[in-house]
Amino acid sequence: MAASISVVIPVFNRKEELIRALDSVKKQTLQPSEVIVVDDCSSFLIEDFLRESNYLDQDWVRVVRNEINQGPSGTRNTGVMHAKEEFIAFLDSDDYWDPHKLEKQMALFTKKPELDLVYNGTWVVYENKTVPSHTKLFKDNIWYQLVDNCWTPPNPSTMLMRNASIRKLNAFDLTLKHAEDIDLWMRMTLHDMKIDYCDERLTYFMYNSTGRLSKQYRAKFKKVEPFFAKWEPYFRQQGKESSFHRFKQRSFTKFALETFVDSLRDRSVSIPAQMYFKYLWNRKEFYDLILNKFRRVQPQPS
């Protein structure tokens, strides 16, 4: 018997990656009741592609197409709007899951019915190498971790959330083109939602996938500004302007570090130099973060 879970997969112009994502859902030891693939106005019809690939022969896979391109927030929200089940799991079309992901998350919901969200750790796939992400997982003091510690949660492909809870938050903010997931986490904490995690790596994050905003350095810095513009009035109302400015500065330092490291991997020189002299050279946390970033990681055991 299928669990009361709707899986939402936003997709734009992807084929092989989407099939891999769907295969990982098909292999779940706890099967969801429905899978909603949201086509964000791709240059071809995702529905036709899946029909030709025999993926629409299964009643639980259906495709919804946006009339106009809406980006990650709007596309996930389209899936939420069509989701019928008690729980919603998000899966980006270029990521995929461990076969036990949904089973282990639902076990936590069964044990703790008060929970609104269960997430998990990730594996990072980079240039055909699978390494463990060292992102720390938290279930308490989330606001502190996000704002004061500049914590970046694992991406939405790790999330299993109550349908009613995400609807209470009006899902993802349509005005944001970047950091929309961090914004959701911040709003969850303000609504005192209950969060827990599976202390296992159950999601595979495709780090160097084409189309990720994290690879579009200039666009990333530009598109994050609306996120800070949205939250600045809240901090001001709380009399915490200095906390906001530290949060913003630390966030840009972290974004700059990601750009710095990625560019070095791509054997670029000019971009790391720009990042270093504009954002990093006088920031103590840069030197702390970069030591952590370059620590040894071991490939996933075969």
Q: What residues of the chain score a pLDDT lower than 70?
A: 1, 208-220, 256-302
Alpha helices (H) in 46-95, listed in sequence order: 46-52, 71-82
Other Cβ atoms less than 10 A from the Cβ of 293: the count is 13
| Angle at 35 (CA atoms; ends 32, 37), nearest 5 degrees | 160
| DSSP annotation of 207 | T
SS3 content of the chain, % helix, strand, coil (to 5): 45, 20, 35
Contact 130, 204 (CB under 8 A): yes
pLDDT score, position 229: 96
Sort 266 into a burial class: Cβ within 10 Å, 0-12 / 13-18 / 19+: exposed
pLDDT score, position 301: 47
Model confidence, pTM: 0.86
pLDDT score, position 59: 79
pLDDT (tens digit per residue) in 75-109: 999 999 999 999 999 999 999 999 999 999 999 99
pLDDT score, position 96: 98
